Amino acid sequence: MSQPIKIGIVGVGKIVRDQHLPALAKDQDYRLIAAASRHGKVDDIPNFPTIESMLDAVPELEAVSLCMPPQFRYDAARTALMAKKHVFLEKPPGATVSEVENLKALAAQNGVSLFASWHSRYAPAVEAARAFLNSTRIKSAAINWKEDVRRWHPNQEWIWAPGGFGVFDPGINALSIATHILPAMFITSAVLDFPENRASPVAARVTFRTSNGLPVTMDLDWLQTGPQSWDILADTDKGAMVLSGGGSKLAIDGRVVHDEPETEYPMLYRRFAEIVRAGTSDVDLAPLQHVADAFMLGKRNVVEAFFD
């Protein structure tokens, strides 16, 4: 068996505690040996205030997992790549498409791996949905992604700042699945609802057409109360497909055909280990490009002020 990859984690917040640390603790491909964060700490390993101080103090690090807000990720990723460390990017991989394109080039120049970790793409029913759609003729599709920001991102002001994505922070999860299971899509129109006291949208309605002319709609809402909705639907010549629960359950004409427990982050780290050992990168920019296109083509609609 190969020696564990010595990894450090940067940005110790909710997603790290909920997902990254448990996944790393169970994965024999890794040994977590350091962390860097302005506020959070990880028990039983050295902690540092910045990625620079961590890299200086722990030169044996081979890889870093970057989990800070996207507005700050480019500089940290560039620092790590220039130090010849493999880099795992939490989603979204950066604040702009051009930033991540530059990181891809830097990874290649320095002979290290870069991974854009679209976690929803690794939900348990996604591959089954992809196989089903590849076996049928799609007539239309719809994405309904509605959740409560107050539940999932309490007191996280960065998501409302420029570059924070707003409702496209969860919406990009839907796009990471849609771009994997549907034909190539292009945005034709969008309406983005901006609270009058925020710089990022709280809801969006987007229309696409696929490369072969099929209609796809997307409805995003970040003020959904009660049950949360993370669904992708398709009308096909083999029946109505519903991929629900963020990609965890697949039903055809109301009959559940795939339903397994979620293992997204363990699978992400498994994939990262694969590309590190193969000396390759895995950076798909399609979901991020769609967000950029929505902001470019979208009509801005100002709505009532939002308060946490």
**Over residues 7-31, mean pLDDT:** 96
pTM for the model: 0.94
pLDDT tens-place string over residues 249-275: 999 999 999 998 889 999 999 999 999
Classify 24 as helix, strand or coil: helix
Residue 307: pLDDT over 80: no
Whole-number pLDDT of residue 260: 87
Helices (H), 250-301: 264-278, 286-297
Query: Alpha-carbon dihedral of residues 71, 76, 78, 82, nearest 10 degrees?
Result: 180
pLDDT tens-place string over residues 275-296: 999 999 999 999 999 999 999 9
pLDDT tens-place string over residues 120-145: 999 999 999 999 999 999 999 999 99
What's the pLDDT band for 1 if we cut at 50, 70, 90?
low
6 carries an active-site annotation: no
Residue 27: count other Cβ atoms within 10 Å of its Cβ: 19
Maximum C-alpha span of the chain: 59
Which residues 6+ apart lie within 8 Å of 109 measured at CB?
Answer: none
pLDDT tens-place string over residues 154-183: 888 889 988 889 999 999 999 999 999 999
What's the pLDDT band for 118 if we cut at 50, 70, 90?
very high
Residue 200 sits at φ, ψ, to 5 deg, of -130, 155
Q: Per the residue annotation, which of 85, 91, 146, 249 is the catalytic one? A: 91
Residue 308: pLDDT over 70: no
Residue 37 sits at φ, ψ, to 5 deg, of -165, 145
- Listed residue (269, 150, 138) closest to 212, CA to CA: 138
Mean pLDDT estimate for the chain = 95
Q: Which two tokens stand for residue 111?
A: 């002979």
pLDDT tens-place string over residues 66-100: 999 999 999 999 999 999 999 999 999 999 999 99
Q: What is the DSSP letter of 269?
A: H
Residue 28: count other Cβ atoms within 10 Å of its Cβ: 9
Q: How many CA atoms lie within 13 A of 226 on its CB side?
A: 0
What percent of the chain clears pLDDT 70, i.e. is strictly above it? 99
